Structure 1
């Protein structure tokens, strides 16, 4: 019975005879591993896939859990369900703020920053900061305009905080809700329309409002021309984020509907900015003049008769 050593010896003997007969012949040993090219090729494929996942903002572990059905969301009445909406670090928030202030032409804000981990932390605090920035700046603007007038008595208007909060949070939540419903309706009509989740749309609107925070602070300067230049500049940046995000979602729809949708998005954004500027800063203020006391006519006549 032939052993393994005998087989190897016969293989070596046959190879030696073949080389002696044909020096140009090439021999291949059965012991050489043939998996190196495949492993290298597989490594290249994995690296390319990792680069694609990094650009798309996905993660292998999350994808594996989703495919396996192991990643389940908590019920909506639990605290864990809403905790996931605030699971974001400072670097992600700053990166998304930077992306909203410096929009890149041709880049989708949702796919580039939001889709990997949409959050409510950034939009909530951006809206809250904008509310106080507009209310405080509006009061300071009124104070500086009437500074030095002896008949003016400054009284802080705290109602501006509630008015600003109502306007900004209604814009940041109700407009995305209406837009999300509209896109869902059009998605049932047109197959090629890109769909966004409600949370992604809220993120876009929330982060697009960040540019109005420094703008509202600069509105304290009592120069109407400068204020309108600032509001136009902020509108261009905030509106460009919205247009570059939602145009790919409606461009395959009917041309008139697509254009009307984008125009409506831009007009609502402009209405918020111009409305805040006109109400909190450029509203005509009535000078508070101390009323002069006048005696009734009959009292004056009686005093003259007594003299």
Structure 2
């Protein structure tokens, strides 16, 4: 029994002797962080690289969760598949609209607003609102310009709605589709290029068009100088969103290809805004044949004369 007690006492003594050793270990681990501070001094480049990867879209965790977890539950031909793309609240839509109207230099629109939950709700309704804003404002502008002209008979031109819808929705969907395919193609040639998803690119283009809704309403002002100033302001704000979003994705590519890509993006965006202003507002004379009702007196007189003969 004594021997057994001795053994127990020795085990207890060993466990008691471990306490100071563990204290020494704790002291060593406390001193270890003091060895690490020099390392962060050499990490600004690494931290900047991590931020660049976020700007380029290398952190695909949120995207994979959205596209993998939710889309596996339902096939793409079902309504539930597309319902996930409209699962967004008012605060998120408002923040994305605010970010597109007031872009901050150095801030990536996708990383800050879109990547957590890309949606189609905002782009769809922004494009629909812009279509009616341009069509209605174009008709009102044509009416106010000829107000007081007795030879002018106003007829609402509903074809402007279809023309505006074709131009805006084609731009908001076909251009992102082409850009998405181009980034995928360049990603296969240059490993540092990371493509955004098609849904993310559609979100960027859709929300970037919001600034043109109040601009189209103000285009009713019958002053060409004011209209062109408004379109330049809107073009600068929305174009800066596109540049700050897509330049980090292509800047590691060949210099000429990267610059040509950004120039193409800006040219297409400029063509849309200037084309809408020139066609719907600054060229009302193109609509004269459909808005002025010709007097039928000449035809009637000719028929009377022929009947007399």
* Change in 2 beyond 3 A, CA 1:4/1:221: farther
Cα offset, 1:265, TM superposition: 0.4
Give the match's secondary structure for 1:202: helix
The residue aligned with 2:5 is 2
**Distance in 1 separating the partners of 2:118 and 2:255:** 30
Whether the 8 Å contact between 2:211 and 2:234 is mirrored in structure 1 is: yes
Residues 252-292 of structure 1, C-alpha deviations (whole Å, 9 max, x = no match): 11111111110000000010011111111111323737537
* Change in 2 beyond 3 A, CA 1:2/1:198: same
Whether the 8 Å contact between 2:153 and 2:293 is mirrored in structure 1 is: no
Alignment: residue pair count: 269
**Distance in 2 separating the partners of 1:132 and 1:217:** 10
* Change in 2 beyond 3 A, CA 1:153/1:263: same
**Distance in 1 separating the partners of 2:101 and 2:230:** 14
Q: Mark the runs of 5 or more structure 1 residues left unpaired by the alignment.
A: 16-26, 42-51, 57-61
User: Rg larger in 1 or in 2?
Assistant: 1
Residues 66-124 of structure 1, C-alpha deviations (whole Å, 9 max, x = no match): 5xx97662221122211111111110000000000000101111111111111000000
Whether the 8 Å contact between 1:151 and 1:290 is mirrored in structure 2 is: no
The residue aligned with 1:228 is 228
- Aligned pairs (5 A) from 1:107-256: 107-256=107-256
Residues 127-183 of structure 1, C-alpha deviations (whole Å, 9 max, x = no match): 000000000100111111111112221110111111100000000000000011111
**Distance in 1 separating the partners of 2:273 and 2:69:** 45
Residues 28-78 of structure 1, C-alpha deviations (whole Å, 9 max, x = no match): 5989xx8xx99xx9xxxxxxxxxx9xxx7xxxxx87x95xx9766222112
**Distance in 2 separating the partners of 1:152 and 1:79:** 49
The residue aligned with 1:79 is 79
**Distance in 1 separating the partners of 2:92 and 2:263:** 30
**Distance in 2 separating the partners of 1:70 and 1:241:** 30
**Distance in 2 separating the partners of 1:276 and 1:163:** 10
Residues 180-238 of structure 1, C-alpha deviations (whole Å, 9 max, x = no match): 11111111111111210100000000000000000000001111110000001100011
Give the match's secondary structure for 2:118: coil
Give the alignment's Cα RMSD to 1 decimal: 3.7
The residue aligned with 2:292 is 288
Whether the 8 Å contact between 1:118 and 1:200 is mirrored in structure 2 is: yes
* Change in 2 beyond 3 A, CA 1:3/1:137: farther
Cα offset, 1:296, TM superposition: 5.0
* Change in 2 beyond 3 A, CA 1:4/1:169: farther
* TM-score, scaled relative to structure 1: 0.76
Q: Mark the runs of 5 or more structure 2 residues left unpaired by the alignment.
A: 34-49, 55-60
**Distance in 2 separating the partners of 1:117 and 1:220:** 36
